[in-house]
Amino acid sequence: MIIFYDCTTAPSPRQVRMFIAEKGLTNSIKNIEVNLRDAEQLSPEFKNINPYCTVPVLETETGERFFSTAGCCRYLEDAYPNPPLMGVDKEEKAMVADMQWRMEIDGFLAVGESLRNSAPGLKNRALTGPDNYEQIPELADRGRERVKRFFTVVNKILDDRTYIAGKNFSIADITAFCTISFADRLKFEIPEEATNLRRWLENINSRPSTLV
């Protein structure tokens, strides 16, 4: 059985959880919760599973492990091609990869930059991983600015399309959705005038995979 190391409060494993749900695999994959609030990711036991000390982790039936959202989802897409969530033809596959990268860099990393450089509970944990890094308050300010711009960028991308990478729902929507929901939890405000973004958010929010 495939094993998925998850954390229900964190945005990266949520992406894989949603991906698994969209594939209809929720009950076929063993889920193990890793408690990040208690720093379980830094325990010697978890370091043996993932030396990078992060979730998600996906372990295949042959014991191979993948340590990033992109790697976990790539494996699942090829092992369970239907429904496709990473594009079908070569143009769509490249567009999905492009957009997923953009959502990750401009969105996910911006939210992380702002949170990790300011939250009292993340003192000395400004970056994930086995090594400690001090918070830099200026980076928190920059992160906040970047998140605001991200909302505008996504709103623009959605000017002429239903989904982030075009006409089909894909992993790019999952990455954007988990990032924006997390930003919302952190009290970032989506601008009133970002009407495309609001329409898209309502659409994605209606998918059962957002509830897992």
Binding site for ligand GSH (CB under 6 A): 10-12, 36, 41, 53-56, 68-69, 125, 128
Q: Name the residue among 200, 123, 137 with its Cα closest to residue 169.
A: 200
Least gap, CB of 37 to ligand GSH (angstroms):
10
Q: Which is nearer to ligand GSH, 55 or 154 (CB)?
A: 55
Least gap, CB of 160 to ligand GSH (angstroms):
28
Report the distance separating Cα 2 and Cα 29, nearest Å: 5
Q: Which is nearer to ligand GSH, 67 or 169 (CB)?
A: 67
Q: Which is nearer to ligand GSH, 10 or 76 (CB)?
A: 10
Cβ neighbours for 110, distance < 8 A, ≥ 6 positions apart: 143, 146, 147, 149, 150
Least gap, CB of 143 to ligand GSH (angstroms):
14
Kindly report the number of other CB atoms within 10 A of residue 57's CB atom.
Answer: 24
Q: What are phi and psi of 3, to 5 degrees?
A: -115, 135
Least gap, CB of 7 to ligand GSH (angstroms):
6
